Amino acid sequence: MVELAISSVRMSLMNPIYVVILREVNGVRRLPIFVGRPEGDAIASFLNDNTPPRPMTHDLLADIISHQLGAQLTQVVITRLHKDHFYATIHLRDGAREIELDARPSDAIAVALRLGSPIYATDEVMEAAAVVPPHYSAEREESEEDLSVFDEFLSTLDLDDDENQP
């Protein structure tokens, strides 16, 4: 498994969707994942310290897990990519009991952020969907030019296929 961190959250100018770009913690690859607008808003608002006065769904779930149930979210794993759709699992520990829940990556990431839990992707997911920004240099920060590599990847995804939505 490969540990990931959020590199950026970008809104598409052509559709009301977001792209969450995860970066490899100990490497240079990036994993772009399309997410819906509500989930993208939830991720972006948390990253920008812009939390609403009342809890949103992901805040509520985080509160239920940690405060009400006393469980710990140990990790989120992006487990597979099937027909341009990513799948994820949320891993909880409740005492000695390990619980694995199926989740959309966007929801899993939003909850993991709120609870400070690590995000991982399987090696298979990284091999299938991760990209290396062109002209990567460890000495310079990521720029808009570095993200142009995602244009080709994003253009290969079929966003209109609702048949196999998770």
Give the model confidence (pLDDT) of 81-105 as tens digits: 999 999 999 999 999 999 999 999 9
Give the model confidence (pLDDT) of 27-81 as tens digits: 999 999 999 999 999 999 999 998 888 888 999 999 999 999 999 999 999 999 9
| Contact present, 129 and 31 (Cβ < 8 Å) | yes
Superfamily, domain 2-136: Bifunctional nuclease domain (3.10.690.10)
Q: What is the pTM of this model?
A: 0.80
**Confidence at residue 166, expressed as pLDDT on a 0 to 100 scale:** 40
**Confidence at residue 158, expressed as pLDDT on a 0 to 100 scale:** 46
Q: Which structure tokens are listed for 43?
A: 């991720």
One-letter identity of residue 43: I
**Confidence at residue 154, expressed as pLDDT on a 0 to 100 scale:** 56
Residue 52 CB partners (closer than 8 Å, separation 6+) = 45
| Contact present, 107 and 60 (Cβ < 8 Å) | no
SS3 129: helix
| Contact present, 125 and 86 (Cβ < 8 Å) | yes
Q: Where are the domains of the chain?
A: 2-136
**Confidence at residue 135, expressed as pLDDT on a 0 to 100 scale:** 66
